[in-house]
Amino acid sequence: MNYLFIELFKNIKRRPLLISFLMCLIGISSLKSQDRLTRFNGFGHTEYSLVKKDSIDSYFSIGEHDFFVTSNLTKRISFLGEFVFRFNSNSATTFLPSIERSFVRFNYKNNHSLIGGKIHTPVNYWNDVYHHGRVFFPVIERPFAFSYMVPLHTLGLQLQGQNLGALGWGYDLVLGNGIASTDAFQGGFSPSYTAAVHFKPINGMRVGASFYYNKLDRNKSGAHIGHATAPGFDASNSYKGAVDFQLASASFAWFGKRLEILNEYGYNTSRTDSLGAAFNFSNFTYIGYRINDKNVPFILLDYLKIADNDLHVYPNEMLKFALGYRYEFNYLINAKIQAEHLWSQHDNHLIHSHLGTLGLRVQLAYGF
């Protein structure tokens, strides 16, 4: 027996691949006792785009790939993690990993929970319900507001209630790091505050509203927000002062047997000492009709207006109209096609530009 162990050890030293194989066996055996507690899922998507602007561009692209983990640690404590790989726009061949969500939930009484970690900021239906798996999106991509106004993530503490009473009431109260923070640090004292409420009057419908507040000591975008800036913007010349950021949101979602409607409205005030208060708003509307279990034609209208005196993300106006079709092979794979027209006007106080774009986009989204 000792001889066998010695020979196995020699083979392991000579063959690194054998080490990996044995580690996999050990991992699989250790999971067997916990497979009723922990669940692993993956999601991804691939797209084709045909875009006509000044010229015609035609290309395939691979999208975000999402590793999704949930685990019931005890009867009352659970964990959720979402880890994403996305293409690095600064490199032709590499992808960047990111932790999109990582939190522990303590269900302390009935449907009331205390949550700690990195969450999706509960400002609207989309951010509450959908994660980075495009297979769950009713359309190909997120509304414009997620790139300019919506604080995507918050790292902090959350009090939450779900499905309370006959109307299915829910609430969220969040205290966490603000827009300018990273996943490890936030300079100064500028916490963010979120309060949200929703109810479900009938099966398939949800109506909600929220308010988000953050006083930035210094204007910048950190790890918890997707805020972009107008094309041509130079970060070295951006506004460096304090910003008083407020966002009020309202959501209406109705996913019935046939008709599907989602409307996301946002009203943002961005106040600076330099130019005063800028009033911005956005509205996204999706309407789909489910012909049967697999076929859903739809339309969408997405509008965003950033005021001329905004110094947080800089002035912008965008409008997109699209006709689309979604074919659902099953709940884990679907194909979407969108014919869309995008009109935009941006202004970074130095460059003024108008842009009209026609496009055809096809997406295959999947989960496993």
Please tell me the pTM assigned to this model.
0.85
Name the residue range of residue 269's domain.
41-367
Q: Is 108 a member of any domain?
A: yes
Is residue 53 assigned to a domain? yes
The enclosing domain of 338 has a CATH number of: 2.40.160.10
Give residues with Cβ within 8 angstroms of 206, minimum separation 6.
125, 198, 199, 200, 251, 252, 253
91 inside domain: yes
19 within domain boundaries: no
Band the pLDDT of 344: cuts 50, 70, 90.
Answer: confident
Give the model's pLDDT for residue 190.
86
| Tokens linked to 145 | 């507001």
Residue 121 domain-assigned (yes or no): yes
Q: Which residues are CB-neighbours of 198 under 8 A, at least 6 positions away? A: 125, 128, 169, 170, 171, 206, 207, 208, 209, 251
Q: What is the pLDDT of residues 198-227, one digit of tens each?
A: 999 999 999 999 999 999 888 876 655 666
pLDDT of residue 231: 58
Average pLDDT value over all residues in the chain: 85
**What does the longest C-alpha to C-alpha distance in the chain come to?**
81
Residue 272 lies in a domain: yes
**For residue 40, what pLDDT is reported?**
94
Q: Which of 175, 169, 171, 137 is nearest to 154 (CA)?
A: 175
Specify the number of domains making up the chain. Answer: 1
For residues 17 and 278, the model is more confident at 278
- Residue 237 pLDDT grade (very low, low, confident, very high; cuts 50, 70, 90): low
The answer on pLDDT for 22 being more than 60 is no
Contacts of 201 (CB under 8 A, 6+ apart): 167, 168, 207
Asked whether residue 187 carries a pLDDT value surpassing 50, the answer given is yes
Residue 17 maps to a domain: no
Residue 20 lies in a domain: no
Q: State residue 4 phi and psi, 5-degree precision.
A: -60, -40
